[in-house]
Amino acid sequence: MDPLPQGVGWMEVVTGCMFSGKTSELIRRVQRARYARQSVVVFKPRIDDRYTEDSVGSHSGQTLRSIQIDHAGQIPGLVADAQVVAVDEAHFLGMELVAIVENLANEGRRVIVAGLDMDYRGVPFEPIPQLLAVSEYITKNLAICMVCGNPADRSQRLVDRSGRFLVGAAESYEARCRKHWSAEVATDLQTSLPLGRNLAEDP
C-alpha cells in the first residue's frame, strides 16, 4: 500500500472470492491501527453467524471483536469517536452502505471495508462495485482453485440452494478459477486438491 494520507479521511476496500483472505487482511489492518493506538470500531452483519456472534472471523481461524448490525443505517450511531471504522462481509449490507461509509471518510475517518465482489453466479455483488469506484485504496485478493491449484477469483456454490444469500464456508463453497467455475451449483463435481485445502486462506 502507498503511504497513507495525513489529516484526511479515506476508504479502503478489500475484495475477492471466498477463501481469498479478505477478512484476514481486514483483521491485519485493524490490528496495526490498534498498535498505533488509534480508536477502532468493527462491524459485521448479523446474518453472518458462522464462527461467533460477537466477532469477525476468518476461515483460517482469526477473530476480532465486532458489533453486529442488522443494516448499514445503524453504523453512524455506533461509531462514536472512532478514528478507524471497519466493516466485514459488506456485500450483505446493500447499497445503503455506500453513502454511509463515504460520509464517515468525509468526516476524516479511515474506513476499511471487506466483501465479495461477485456472487456465486459471477454477477457483481452490490455494493462492492460501487465502493470500489469511490475508494482511495483497492485490494483484490485471489484464492487457490480447488480443482487445479491455479489462482482463483470466483466462488463455486456446492449445495443446491437457491437465493443469492447463502452464508456458508467449506461445506457450501469452493474457490475456483475461471476455467473450472460454473454458474450452476456444482453438486456433482469433485475437488482434486487435498481435503481441507480450501479451509486455509491464500497467503
Helix (H, G, I), strand (E, B) or coil at 198: helix
Q: Please give the mean pLDDT across all residues of the chain.
A: 85
| Identity of residue 13 | V
Give the pLDDT score at 203: 33
Model confidence at 103: pLDDT above 50: yes
Model confidence at 83: pLDDT above 70: yes
Query: Which of 51-55, 71-75, 83-87 has the lowest average pLDDT?
Result: 51-55
Give the pLDDT score at 184: 82
Which distant-in-sequence residues (6+ apart) come within 8 Å of 170 by Cβ?
Answer: 19, 59, 196, 198, 199
Model confidence at 55: pLDDT above 70: no
CB 157 within 8 A of CB 17: no
Question: How far, in Å, CA of 12 to CA of 114, rounded?
Answer: 8
89 is a catalytic site residue: yes
Model confidence at 192: pLDDT above 60: no
pLDDT in tens, 113-148: 999 999 999 999 999 999 999 999 999 999 999 999
Cell of 79: 461509531
DSSP string, 126-185: TTHHHHHHH-SEEEEE-EE-TTT-SEE-EEEE-S---SS----STTTEEEE-TTT--SS-
Model confidence at 39: pLDDT above 90: yes
Among the options 89, 102, 174, 184, which is catalytic? 89
Domains and CATH numbers, the chain: 10-141 (3.40.50.300)
Question: How far, in Å, CA of 86 to CA of 24, rounded?
Answer: 12
Name residue 176's beta-bridge partners: 154
